[in-house]
């Protein structure tokens, strides 16, 4: 007698044929109870439930206890019901209901058996893993994370664990969380980092240092931004994937980013069929027809649109002359116009050569028109998911910009010293992984694709 996961049992014909007529154990919780004889059990491994048929008289007393959400163990024989649409069923020998549950609590939580909006699920964030919609999103997220590592592993990149605590504000903007070891009640002690510790906004600068020794590197971890953005696509803590490659030009980094995105979407199509199917049903129920499979396929099978910053500004101005000026950053309002009015094909858009003044100090400048050798990649619905560039190789130019930005030269001197190793040109990018999950799942709010979202006003 062995225990199996529901995902394994229902994964394919070969597996359930092997298990048919065998006695197996499953453990999970009651998802539905139908017609007084069918219990659907879920164990979290799959969106699918296993049906248990409780016709036998010996289960009369168990039947009285059955309630949605309570924990259960079933030992029984797996059978194949030709007549029944559900096909695979468990005929129990023994059923155990685990004690300790509080029905009053379950029935008054978000787990009561009715539809709740995603924003409502957020009110009981620790329970929402039990819901179909959220567990589906999180399973996709888990597979995506694994595939990200696999992509870089297969392509012989070295994985670098860049620090979460540092003292350089990599993006040069003022959006950093400061950390201190001091208890606010005890001011006599000395701070462990002399008030210099910050939560990292990006692992890029440390990643560049590792690149000088290892060639092709990536880092993947949480980063932190103290910007007060209460939007559907900003978090205070989010996961960024960053890569740096020695002797790569901008065109190489563009190709790498395209290859990565296409690889990841392909893997999700193959590995998350049940999840995508469920999400399509979910969106349809709420009158949003997303057809996620086709949306992903379209991106895999088509070229990304490429356009310079200057040209996209011209096109935006054609739509509405006052909406943006050359030199201003492209924001969410502009992204919407780009996808709804300018390029209506729902394909990714690569915008290159952004103006110097809206990009960080480390980006290499073009020789002409005050622009950087940079890219942003936008996806329909979520907007910017990638930012990247060629990196400045000149010690002097970097120093000048760091001083101009009034950054602390002492704290970032180590980064400058790397340029003393010679003019090794290199490029890199950062991908906002949570936003990619928004795109894949068609879920509107970033707070609903992250296990424990942290955003302004909410820890």
Question: Residue numbers of the site for Mg ion (CB under 5 A)?
Answer: 387
The answer to whether 91 and 53 are in contact (CB under 8 A) is yes
Among 40, 206, 280, 384, binds ligand 4AD (CB under 6 A): 384
152 binds, among Mg ion, ligand 4AD, none (CB under 5 to 8 A by kind): none
Pairing of strands 23-34, 71-80: antiparallel
- On the 0-12 / 13-18 / 19+ scale of CB atoms within 10 A, 395 is middle
From 96-104, 117-125, 338-346, 379-387, give the range in contact with ligand 4AD by CB under 6 A.
379-387
CB count in 10 Å sphere of residue 206: 23
Q: 188-207: which residues touch ligand 4AD (CB under 6 A)?
A: 202, 204
Residue 355 contacts ligand 4AD per CB under 6 A:
no
Q: Min. distance of Cβ 218 from ligand 4AD in angstroms?
A: 10
Distance between CA 404 and CA 384 in Å, rounded? Answer: 27
Q: Which residues sit opposite 73 in a β-bridge? A: 27, 96
Is 385 or 450 the residue whose CB approaches Mg ion more closely?
385
299 membership: H or E segment, kind and range: helix 292-301
324 binds, among ligand 4AD, Mg ion, none (CB under 5 to 8 A by kind): none
Residue 435 contacts ligand 4AD per CB under 6 A:
yes
Among 242, 275, 280, 390, binds ligand 4AD (CB under 6 A): 242
Is 118 or 201 the residue whose CB approaches Mg ion more closely?
201
From 36-44, 67-75, 150-158, 427-435, give the range in contact with ligand 4AD by CB under 6 A.
427-435
Is 74 or 446 the residue whose CB approaches ligand 4AD more closely?
446
Residue 207: left if φ>0, alpha if ψ -120 to 50, beta else—which one?
alpha
Residue 388 contacts ligand 4AD per CB under 6 A:
yes
DSSP 379-424: ETTTEEEEEEEEBP--HHHHHHHHHHTT--HHHHHHHHHGGGG---
The answer to whether 190 and 405 are in contact (CB under 8 A) is no
Quickly tell me which residue has 């190489």 as its tokens: 252
Distance between CA 327 and CA 393 in Å, rounded? Answer: 24
Among 69, 172, 432, 442, binds ligand 4AD (CB under 6 A): 432
Q: 151-170: which residues touch ligand 4AD (CB under 6 A)?
A: 170
Residue 430 contacts ligand 4AD per CB under 6 A:
yes
430 binds, among Mg ion, ligand 4AD, none (CB under 5 to 8 A by kind): ligand 4AD
Is 136 or 202 the residue whose CB approaches ligand 4AD more closely?
202
- How are strands ordered across the β-sheet holding 349-352? 158-159, 216-224, 237-246, 426-432, 383-390, 374-379, 349-352, 305-308
Residue 448 contacts ligand 4AD per CB under 6 A:
no
Cα distances from 83 to residues 37, 157, 223, in angstroms, run 16, 53, 54
Q: 210-239: which residues touch ligand 4AD (CB under 6 A)?
A: 225, 234-235, 238
Among 254, 434, 439, 440, binds ligand 4AD (CB under 6 A): 434
Which positions lie near ligand 4AD, rule CB under 6 A? 170-171, 202, 204, 225, 234-235, 238, 240, 242, 384-388, 428-430, 432, 434-435
């Amino acid at each position: 007698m062995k225990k199996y996961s529901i995902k394994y049992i229902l994964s394919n014909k070969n597996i359930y044929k092997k298990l048919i007529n065998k006695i197996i154990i499953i453990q999970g919780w009651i998802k539905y109870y139908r017609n007084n004889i069918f219990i659907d059990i879920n164990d979290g491994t799959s969106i699918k439930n296993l049906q248990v048929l409780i016709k036998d008289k010996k289960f009369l007393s168990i039947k009285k206890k059955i309630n949605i959400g309570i924990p259960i163990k079933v030992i029984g024989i797996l059978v194949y019901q030709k007549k029944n649409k559900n096909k695979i069923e468990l005929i129990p020998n023994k059923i155990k209901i685990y004690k300790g549950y509080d029905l009053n609590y379950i029935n008054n939580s978000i787990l009561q058996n009715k539809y709740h909006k995603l924003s409502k699920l957020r009110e009981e964030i620790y329970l929402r893993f039990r819901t179909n919609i959220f567990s589906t999103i999180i399973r996709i997220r888990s597979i995506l994370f694994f595939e990200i590592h696999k992509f870089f592993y297969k392509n012989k990149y070295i994985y670098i664990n860049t620090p979460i605590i540092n003292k350089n504000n990599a993006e040069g903007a003022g959006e950093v969380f400061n950390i201190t070891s001091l208890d606010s009640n005890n001011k006599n002690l000395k701070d462990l980092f002399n008030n210099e510790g910050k939560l990292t906004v990006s692992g890029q600068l440390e990643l560049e240092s590792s690149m000088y020794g290892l060639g092709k590197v990536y880092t993947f971890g949480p980063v932190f931004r103290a910007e007060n953005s209460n939007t559907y696509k900003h978090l205070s803590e989010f996961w960024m994937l960053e890569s740096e490659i020695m002797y790569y030009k901008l065109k190489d980094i563009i190709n790498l980013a395209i290859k990565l995105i296409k690889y990841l979407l392909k893997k999700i199509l193959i590995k998350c069929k049940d999840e995508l199917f469920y999400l399509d049903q979910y969106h349809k129920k709420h009158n949003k027809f997303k057809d996620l499979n086709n949306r992903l396929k379209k991106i895999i099978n088509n070229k990304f649109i490429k356009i310079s910053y200057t040209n996209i500004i011209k096109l935006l101005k054609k739509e509405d002359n006052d909406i943006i000026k050359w030199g201003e950053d492209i924001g969410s309002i502009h992204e919407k116009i780009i996808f709804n009015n300018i390029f209506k094909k729902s394909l990714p858009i690569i915008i290159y050569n952004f103006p110097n003044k809206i990009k960080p100090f480390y980006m290499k400048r073009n020789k002409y028109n005050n622009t950087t050798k940079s890219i942003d990649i936008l996806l329909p619905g979520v907007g910017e998911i990638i930012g990247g560039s060629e990196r400045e190789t000149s010690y002097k130019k970097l120093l000048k910009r760091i001083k101009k930005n009034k950054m602390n030269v002492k704290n970032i001197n180590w980064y400058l010293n790397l340029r003393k190793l010679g003019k090794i040109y290199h490029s890199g990018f950062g991908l906002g992984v949570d936003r990619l999950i928004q795109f894949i799942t068609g879920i509107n709010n970033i707070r609903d694709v992250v296990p424990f979202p942290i955003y302004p006003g909410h820890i």
